[in-house]
Amino acid sequence: MIGGWLLLSHYVGIPMYRRGMYTNAEYLEARFGVGARVISVLVQVLYRTVMIGMISTAIFLTLTVVCGWGSVQAWAAVAGVALLATIYTSAGGLRSVALTDAMQAVVILVAAIVIFATVADQVGGWGGLEAKIAETDPVLAEQMMHIGSDRIERVDTSGLPEEKVARHLRIGGT
């Protein structure tokens, strides 16, 4: 998988950069015409709008649960951060976005390490985690606690209705 991404970046990313293209929409326009760029932009706007809504809601829920803030306070904080991000993006352009993304990546990485260490300490290490998961669901413990190995479950789906197969595979609904 990583090799594929590296090959893709070598054969697509580097030539795009050398031609002065910085977005996939620019690449699509050069390769397929203006219509492809317009479609790409519309899809990306829709995708980004949905993602921003989900991220904002997740931050709101985190603030209400972790900080104990009320609904108005939490939404005001989310709106304030969004406004701040809009201002520094408008003022500093793509460079400011890249710099803040780099800083946020460092903060997220450090936070993830601290959270992992704290949780591991609270549950008694890897063995404690296995024991707690096994108490809840022994099958789940068997499936989750094997890093680096895949479990393949063979299911005979011949003669079954499509909805039942999709439900079993968790595709297309609940």
Instruction: DSSP for 83-148, please give it.
Output: HHHHHHHHHHHHHHHHHHHHHHHHHHHHHHHHHHHHHHHHHTHHHHHHHHHHHH-HHHHHHHS-TT
pLDDT of res. 154: 66
Q: Taking the alpha carbons of 74, 75, 78, 79 in that order, is the dihedral positive or negative?
A: negative
Residue type, 121: D
pLDDT of res. 174: 47
pLDDT per residue of the chain (174 residues) written in tens, 0 to 9:
678 888 888 888 888 888 888 888 898 999 899 999 999 999 999 999 999 999 999 999 999 988 889 999 999 999 999 999 889 889 988 888 888 889 999 999 999 999 889 988 888 888 888 888 888 887 777 766 666 555 566 667 777 787 777 776 765 444
- Name 26's Cβ contacts closer than 8 Å, sequence gap at least 6: 16, 37
Task: Tell me the C-alpha to C-alpha distance, in Å, between residue 19 and each of 7, 14, 15.
Answer: 18, 9, 6
Q: Taking the alpha carbons of 55, 105, 145, 62 in that order, is the dihedral positive or negative?
A: negative
pLDDT of res. 173: 47
Distance, in Å, from the CA atom of 32 to the CA atom of 91, rounded to the nearest integer, reads 33
Residue 56: closest CA among 25, 80, 21:
80
Distance, in Å, from the CA atom of 111 to the CA atom of 104, rounded to the nearest integer, reads 10
Task: Extract the tokens encoding 172.
Answer: 């297309």
Nearest 10 degrees: Cα torsion 50, 56, 58, 64: -150
Distance, in Å, from the CA atom of 171 to the CA atom of 159, rounded to the nearest integer, reads 18
Predicted TM-score (pTM) of this structure: 0.53
